Amino acid sequence: MVLLTKTLPMRWNSNNKKRYVDLNYSFTKMGEEFEVKVEHLPVHAKNEVKVECDYCRDIKGVINHFSKQFANYLSERKYIPKDSCEECKYIKMKENKEYRQEQGILTKDDNGWWTFRENRLLAVKEYLEKYHNFEGLLKNKEGKKLYHNIIKFQELPQNLAIELGYDLENELLYKRKPQKYYENIGKLIRDIQKIIDENKLEFFPTVGMIMKELKIGHRVLKKHGGYIEISRKMDYEPQNLVDNSGFVNRSKYERDTANYLIAQNLPYLREQYPFEGYSFQSDFTFLVKGNPRIIHGEVWGFPKDSTSPRGIKYNINRKIKEKLYKQYNEEIELISIEGPETFDKKTFQQIQENLFKKFSPFFHLPFEQVELELLIPTEDMSDRELFEKVMELSDDEEYLPETNYLKESGYGRYYNQIIKRYKYEEFARLFGKRVRYKENSFWKKEKRIEFFYM
Ligand SMILES: [Zn+2]
């Protein structure tokens, strides 16, 4: 609070005469010097004044004098009546920002607005009031801004929405197409083909992908004979790239990487957008508290020197992505995994070691040995293996365990696999067992939430 300069020498001229005479200074003669009290200077005065840094004194116990223009001295004290030297500027900026936030006068366009979590919550609320859900979040300008300003702080708009009390299941889900839209199977097949073409899929899209991309419910597929029937009609083998979390991967390499991470209890996000303004997605994203850089993981699908037409195409894209990762390396760290090298023709042990080598420098993994069955998808398990697995939880030899109990106990993935093949009761009958409840709500609820996170 120390303005060291008390008065300044000034010369009378035709511009200042009236001002200072009105302030009771006695006029002597044009061009003659006189002393003006600092408080009488006009607010825009550019005269240098001497001040003391309040922060150097209060924080470091150091006396630090410096000069600045009077006009700046005033304007910099608009909110916080304290002076800061060049070095302490950032401490003051922070104080300033916090003060304005408290007063409710910090606006979205001001620097630092997004640094307040309450503002980020507010932004999510405003966004949802306007758009009602997060569908197309990254396709509009506001959504992109929201997303990028939130992920900087290691969170997602979806998490904040839940915190705000939004019911993800009912309010934030994509809107489905009306039932009648796919009355005609020809149209459905054409649109599924479009998914394959547009995403350059090497496999038949999974149930989840079809439902998500076409914005349809399970009923539409059932109506036309079911997923498997439709895939056969289109001359494809139905594929399963679902990992142990229920997420649909784009390749087996990705799926097995995901299963490894799940077994290591390492949390991650899928299909995030590392580069602002680009539609590229990464395979895995790790938000680590305390690490200012966001870690992204890529599992590359082709060898670098691939000579197949699809491999060549793939690697062109890869090069662009890698260039971007380099460009953004102040904000992003990349874990780069060569799919074929890591997984193809490798023993189970080698795969684990390869993945451990990639991830441990970033996360200090304890390297839990992953049980084979955790890495190998449930789809490769036989009915008998599935049966023996779920019976581990049964408290009555005559009955299969209840489905909710399976899910709560972490056996949900076995259950998911069973009901892909049979109705739960049918499955029980195969092994001469019974079930206690009729099961029907699984697809309705759990699956829908899962799709939202895809
Ligand atoms: Zn200072």
Instruction: Tell me how far apart the alpha carbons of residues 194 and 199 are, in angstroms, rounded to a whole number.
Output: 8
CA of 270 relative to ligand 1 center, distance in Å: 45
Which pLDDT does position 373 carry in this prediction? 61
CA of 97 relative to ligand 1 center, distance in Å: 18
Which pLDDT does position 439 carry in this prediction? 42
Residues with CB in 5 Å of ion ligand 1? 53, 55-56, 85, 88
Instruction: Tell me how far apart the alpha carbons of residues 162 and 145 are, in angstroms, rounded to a whole number.
Output: 19
The domain locations on the chain are 7-103, 113-171, 179-233, 252-374, 381-453
pTM: 0.44
CA of 48 relative to ligand 1 center, distance in Å: 18
CA of 82 relative to ligand 1 center, distance in Å: 11
Long-range contact set of residues 280-287: C-beta below 8 Å, sequence gap at least 24: 280/320, 280/321, 280/324, 283/254, 283/257, 284/257, 284/258, 284/335, 286/362, 286/363, 287/154, 287/155
Compute the half-sphere exposure of residue 33: CA atoms within 13 Å on the CB side of its CA. Answer: 4
Nearest CA to 10 out of 68, 74, 19 is that of: 19
The answer to whether 165 and 203 have CB atoms below 8 angstroms apart is: no
CA of 116 relative to ligand 1 center, distance in Å: 25
Q: What is the CA radius of gyration of the chain?
A: 32
CA of 56 relative to ligand 1 center, distance in Å: 4
Pairing mode, if any, of strands 294-300 and 284-286? antiparallel
Residues 6+ apart with CB under 8 A from 176: 215, 216, 217
Query: What torsion, rounded to 10 degrees, do the Cα atoms 325, 330, 332, 337 define?
Result: 50
Which CATH fold topology does 252-374 show? Answer: Endonuclease; Chain A (3.40.960)
CA of 53 relative to ligand 1 center, distance in Å: 5
Instruction: Tell me how far apart the alpha carbons of residues 105 and 78 are, in angstroms, rounded to a whole number.
Output: 13
CA of 139 relative to ligand 1 center, distance in Å: 45
Instruction: Tell me how far apart the alpha carbons of residues 380 and 110 are, in angstroms, rounded to a whole number.
Output: 55
Residue with tokens 């506001």: 142
CA of 66 relative to ligand 1 center, distance in Å: 9
CA of 92 relative to ligand 1 center, distance in Å: 10
The answer to whether 394 and 431 have CB atoms below 8 angstroms apart is: no
Which pLDDT does position 97 carry in this prediction? 92
Instruction: Tell me how far apart the alpha carbons of residues 408 and 390 are, in angstroms, rounded to a whole number.
Output: 12
Residues 116-153, buried b or exposed e (16+ Cβ, 10 A)? eeebbbebbeebbeeeebbeebeeeeebeebbebbbee
CA of 90 relative to ligand 1 center, distance in Å: 10
- pLDDT means per 10 residues, the chain with 454 residues, are 87 94 94 94 93 93 93 92 92 92 90 91 92 81 89 80 68 61 91 87 74 77 83 74 76 89 86 85 87 91 86 89 93 94 82 92 77 67 82 86 82 84 86 71 40 35
Instruction: Tell me how far apart the alpha carbons of residues 284 and 296 are, in angstroms, rounded to a whole number.
Output: 6
CA of 88 relative to ligand 1 center, distance in Å: 4
CA of 253 relative to ligand 1 center, distance in Å: 55
Nearest CA to 366 out of 253, 256, 263 is that of: 263
Which pLDDT does position 419 carry in this prediction? 84
Instruction: Tell me how far apart the alpha carbons of residues 173 and 165 are, in angstroms, rounded to a whole number.
Output: 15
